[in-house]
Structure 1
Amino acid sequence: MSGPETVSEYIGHHLTNLSLAKLGLVADEASFWNVYIDSLIFSVLTGVIFLWVFRSVAKKSTVGVPGKLQCFIEMIVEFVDHTVKDIFHGKNALIAPLSLTIFVWVFLMNFMDLIPVDFIPHASMLMGVPYLRVVPSADVNVTLSMSLGVFILILYYSIKIKGIKGFSKELTLQPFNHWAFIPINLLLEGVTLLSKPISLGLRLFGNMYAGELIFILIAGLLPWWSQWVLSVPWAIFHILVITLQAFIFMVLTIVYLSQASEEH
């Protein structure tokens, strides 16, 4: 199987997902039933790695002198725990485990962007797979799916803590506490509510897509022997980006769930 020949073909190839439509299993790329197989595989793979590593450390943990991996995992857990305690002031057994899962899982998905751009796609082409993108968080379907899960939790805790009546009043009697302003309040609060999952998902997608695109542009426009001049500095800087994006996604999730759990 021959690869892309021009720079534009190279960039387009590396930005194309392996989908059911590309395999001829779905007629249209825009079909509702079309699934991005590579995003699904690598998101599940990173999730399994996260669960396996943390479970292994938990089973082998000791009260004595811990190993380096145990120290590292404990630092992550304590960091997330302190962050949750600083932001979320209610009592909810779900928030801390959810925050830890989001932070580590999103970080691992983002970390896939540091794998050389040609390594896995070229190996997949040798095996007969025409397209393969390895950064799940650079797929808007993945990021919006995660933010949709957070949105469902926001609605659930808003209704559970405040009740349907209280949640309805929050949407219709704020910021103007008068029945005449109910349509305006509903419009303003509705936009605010719906913007939470959209901004949460698009922020992560936009940053990771841009980071992936820069790596692809460097690889596509420069000779292989000089790519390291730009790719290495960008990779070092990108470590900060992928960590910060995972942290922001986690913090915003905690903030939104904290707001949903507060009684007005």
Structure 2
Amino acid sequence: MAAPGETLTPSSYIVHHLLNLSVGEGFWMVHIDSLFFSVLIGIAFLWFFSSVAKKATTEVPGMIQCVVEIIVEFIDRNVRETFKGNNPLIAPLALTIFVWIFLMNMMDLIPIDFIPHFASLAGIPYLKVVPTADVNITLAMALGVFFLIIYYSLKIKGIRGFTKELALHPFNHWSMIPFNLLLEVASLLAKPISLGMRLFGNMFAGEVVFILIAALLPWWAQWLGSVPWAIFHILVITIQAFVFMMLTIVYLSQAHEVPEH
């Protein structure tokens, strides 16, 4: 929201809602709102799941325990079917990625001016509440996955095996090593970029639609656009969390494979 007493035109309203609360300049700029909400949601997720686990019972479970068990079983089944290695980290990592991204995406369903309005009353001029609509957050998560890919590739295959994988695929001949390296290194670097940009692009586009509805329609007619889009957006929110999780599992599964050269 704008400062109290300030009137925004539709165009300035849109621009205003696309700005982050930040400090610093250029490369060293930090988006405080994205960091705050991503960390807050992560802490809430950990607290909620740990509290449910502590209160879990083998008798007739309550609704909350049932929901958590369904999510855990769903993630566990996908990991067992997709991941071909043996690593106890993968299932908890997949669960964390799916739920954390899903909850961050869900922030997009909060009315666009609800939280920023109270922030403006407290003197905060800009506030974006959807962390996954910030490319810095999505690329940071993707880079975390990328570092795990490199770590397990080196740990499982060794430096020699990982180098052979890059140099001798897809054409297993010494004369094709330069071409193989160019192809494989480009493919490796494309993984975190596509992983982060896909999530960002979908969530940013969804946020822009909500902003356009709020900017161009009178307040009494906004529900005609926002409610149908929110219902459809629930599907987008879930799919994007699922895709990020599944690609992470697939990439880490590939990192655990030891090909024969």
**TM-score (ref. length: structure 1):** 0.96
Question: Once the 2 structures are TM-superposed, how far is the Cα of residue 4 of structure 1 from its aligned partner?
Answer: 5.0
Q: Which residue of 2 aligns with 1:80?
A: 75
Q: Which residue of 2 aligns with 1:40?
A: 35
Residues 180-219 of structure 1: pairs in structure 2 closer than 5 A:
180-219=175-214
Is 2:42 aligned against 1:13? no
CA RMSD of superposed structures (Å): 0.8
Unaligned stretches of 5+ in structure 1?
Answer: 21-25
Question: Once the 2 structures are TM-superposed, how far is the Cα of residue 42 of structure 1 from its aligned partner?
Answer: 0.3
Is the CA contact (8 Å cut-off) linking 1:81 and 1:96 kept in structure 2?
Answer: yes
Is the CA contact (8 Å cut-off) linking 1:18 and 1:38 kept in structure 2?
Answer: yes
State the Cα deviation string for residues 215-259 of structure 1 (Å, max 9, x = none): 000000000000000100000111111001000000000000000
Is 2:155 aligned against 1:163? no
Q: Which residue of 1 aligns with 2:141?
A: 146
CA 1:141 to 1:4, structure 2 compared with 1: closer, same or farther past 3 Å? farther
Deviates more, 1:135-144 or 1:170-179: 170-179
Matches of 2:86 and 2:210, distance apart in 1: 43
- The count of residues paired between Structure 1 and Structure 2 equals 256
Q: Which residue of 2 aligns with 1:247?
A: 242
Matches of 1:89 and 1:194, distance apart in 2: 23
State the Cα deviation string for residues 59-111 of structure 1 (Å, max 9, x = none): 00000011100000000000000000010021100000000000000000000
Matches of 1:252 and 1:164, distance apart in 2: 24
Matches of 1:253 and 1:227, distance apart in 2: 37
Is 2:114 aligned against 1:119? yes
Matches of 1:100 and 1:196, distance apart in 2: 20
Unaligned stretches of 5+ in structure 2?
Answer: none
Alignment match of 2:129 (pick from 130, 134, 144): 134
Matches of 1:4 and 1:233, distance apart in 2: 28
Is 2:256 aligned against 1:226? no
Is the CA contact (8 Å cut-off) linking 1:4 and 1:13 kept in structure 2?
Answer: no
After TM superposition, where is structure 1 displaced by more than 2 Å over at least 4 residues in a row? 1-4
The SS at the match of 2:30 is coil
Matches of 1:10 and 1:92, distance apart in 2: 49
Counting aligned pairs with the same residue, the percent is: 69
Matches of 2:225 and 2:29, distance apart in 1: 36
**TM-score (ref. length: structure 2):** 0.97
Q: Which residue of 2 aligns with 1:23?
A: none
State the Cα deviation string for residues 143-175 of structure 1 (Å, max 9, x = none): 000000000000011111111001000111111
Question: Once the 2 structures are TM-superposed, how far is the Cα of residue 33 of structure 1 from its aligned partner?
Answer: 2.2
